[in-house]
Amino acid sequence: MERENWTSRLGFILAASGSAIGLGNIWRFPFVTGTNGGAIFILIYLASILFIGYPILVSEMSFGRFTSKNPIGAFKKIAPKTAWPWVGALGVLSGFTILSYYSVVAGWGMAYIVKSINFTAESNFPAIFSTHISSLAEPILWHGIFMFLTIAVIGAGVVNGIQRLVKVLMPILFVIMFLLIIRSVTLEGAAAGLEFYLKPDFSAITFQTFTDAISQAFFTLSLGMGAIITYGSYLSEKESINESAGYVLIFDTAVALLAGFAIFPAVFAFGLDPASGPGLTFITLPAVFTQMPFGIFFSVIFFLLLTIAALTSSISMLEVVVSFLIDEYNWQRKKASYLMGFLIFLVGIPPLLGYSSFSNFSFLGMDVLDTYDWFSNYILLPGCGILTSIFVGHIWGIENLTKEANKNSRFKMGSIYALLLKYIVPAVVLFMMIFNIYQTV
């Protein structure tokens, strides 16, 4: 079966950026920033993106293009008859697991597009959110709709599905984002939110600030889940990996930072708590929207933005699983897409029921969805990232990696990159992983 390729550099950059831009930027980034002191967290996050995220991003893209394989096939091609392909399997498992609960949260966002129409200043937003997630039929319906959209895109293929969709959705995403920012920063009292977001408070730094920043870098760039290896495997030899990775990094970071500009000025303008955790998106922000002129309109487009961002990421996660079945077992794309998509939908049911039928479940004090998220973000993603860095740096070899990354590139990788990838990145991420496990247990 002939393997598809991106038809343009722009198509690849938008697709890879879409994979990176998702709930991690618009749902997760603001509340993690809010709970970690604002501007000081952003500085540490930017350093994590540059010195940890970028080297792994380049290595995964290079590894994917060199092998033209899915994550398991890529390791198998370089190190056959070894245990290394299990690292690729870990990446596939990461994408599978994350998408199962990612779709649940994305479904909440889709539901809120409709719910927003009826919001008023008198609405009881904690009760609305609690009622929604603790019911049965409604969350399952929206989870199913979101997964169906994801399946339909992947079933259509790399060019006709993924590339065609992101070329439409990514510009829409930026237009909506700028509309929200203009409304937010022009509110009376927005200056306090801008100060919180832009003026670092060094006294707010804790060790948790560093580990959360590194974890956020992994989550937002889709590292360690095989998505970038898979997307890289469809990349033409004539394209520059170093520069393409740079554009992805810029787009992804820009959306995260812009989300902060859209959210924090509005939160402070209405005297609300920026450290309100995950509820910032579904409880605090709806309350903010109802108190501003044309609030219903801005609420609807915010949750539309959330859904678009989630979809551009979800398709990359499903593509990881589907490409494995196509490459290794010669499955037809539609068969692999619909079967795996349905299985992921089923695996997403337990975290969805964690606020109703499975509300008594507790793992180290966490509910089902938080357990899925903890294993994904603190075990699977960093674990896969560490092992991939070790593999490409020491087994495949830095010389082979830099040769692939530097093809047709004006910006060349050198000794600093080699030092980061071979030693510093694995050590830092391993330390973060152990710390987070220790903190939880």
Residue 382 lies in a domain: yes
For the whole model, what pTM was predicted? 0.89
| pLDDT for res 439 | 85
CATH number, domain containing residue 235:
1.10.4160.10
Q: Is the pLDDT of residue 41 over 60?
A: yes
Mean pLDDT of 42-70: 93
Asked if residues 60 and 388 have their Cβ atoms less than 8 Å apart, the reply is yes
**pLDDT for the residue 29:** 83
Average pLDDT over residues 361-384: 90
Rounded-to-integer distance, Cα 220 and Cα 347, Å: 22
Q: Give the residue among 432, 316, 323, 350 at the shortest CA–CA distance from 383.
A: 432
Within a 10 A sphere around the Cβ of 412, how many other Cβ atoms? 10
Confidence of residue 390 (pLDDT cuts 50, 70, 90): very high
Is residue 251's pLDDT more than 90? no
Which of 259, 190, 250, 197 is closest to 20 using CA atoms? 250
Domain count, the chain: 1
| DSSP per residue, 48-117 | HIIIIIHHHHHHHHHHHHHHTS-HHHHHHHHSTTSSTHHHHHHHHHHHHHHHHHHHHHHHHHHHHHHHGG
For residue 168, the tally of other CB atoms under 10 A from its CB is 11
Output 400 or 295, whichever has higher pLDDT: 400
Question: 286-319, pLDDT tens digit by residue?
Answer: 888 888 888 898 889 889 988 988 898 898 899 9
Percent of the chain residues past pLDDT 90, beyond the cut: 46
pLDDT in tens, 106-123: 999 999 999 999 998 889
At 238 the pLDDT is 86
Read off the pLDDT band of 283 (50, 70, 90): confident
Q: What pLDDT is attached to residue 165?
A: 81
* pLDDT value for 104: 95
Within a domain: 351: yes
For residue 394, give every residue at least 6 positions away whose Cβ sits within 8 Å of its Cβ, in sequence order, or none: 422
Token code pair at residue 437: 């496990």
**Span 220-240, average pLDDT:** 87
Residue 342 has pLDDT above 90, yes or no: yes
d(CA 217, CA 77): 28
Q: DSSP characters for 257-301?
A: HHHHHHHHHHHHHTT--TT-TTHIIIIIHHHHHHTSTTHHHHHHH
pLDDT band at 58 (very low <50, low <70, confident <90, very high): very high
Q: Is the pLDDT of residue 1 over 90?
A: no
Question: Residue 72 — very low, low, confident or very high, per pLDDT cuts 50/70/90?
Answer: very high
The pLDDT score that the predictor gives to residue 68 is 92
Task: Give dist(CA 150, CA 143) in Å, integer.
Answer: 11
- 98 within 8 A of 376, measured Cβ to Cβ: yes
Q: Which domain holds residue 394?
A: 9-440
Per-residue pLDDT band at 278 (split at 50, 70, 90) = low
* pLDDT above 70 (res 3): no
In angstroms, the CA 23 to CA 305 distance is 10
Angle (deg, nearest 10), helices 71-78 and 54-67: 70
Q: For residue 277, what pLDDT band results from cuts at 50, 70 and 90?
A: low
> Tokens at residue 320, please?
């990881």
Q: Is 21 left (phi over 0), alpha (psi -120 to 50) or beta?
A: beta
Q: In this structure, is residue 347 part of a structural domain?
A: yes
Highest averaged pLDDT of the listed ranges 217-226, 249-258, 335-344 = 335-344
- What backbone torsions phi and psi does residue 84 show, to the nearest 5 degrees? -60, -35
- The pLDDT confidence band at residue 4, using thresholds 50, 70 and 90, is low
| Mean pLDDT rounded to a whole number for the chain | 88
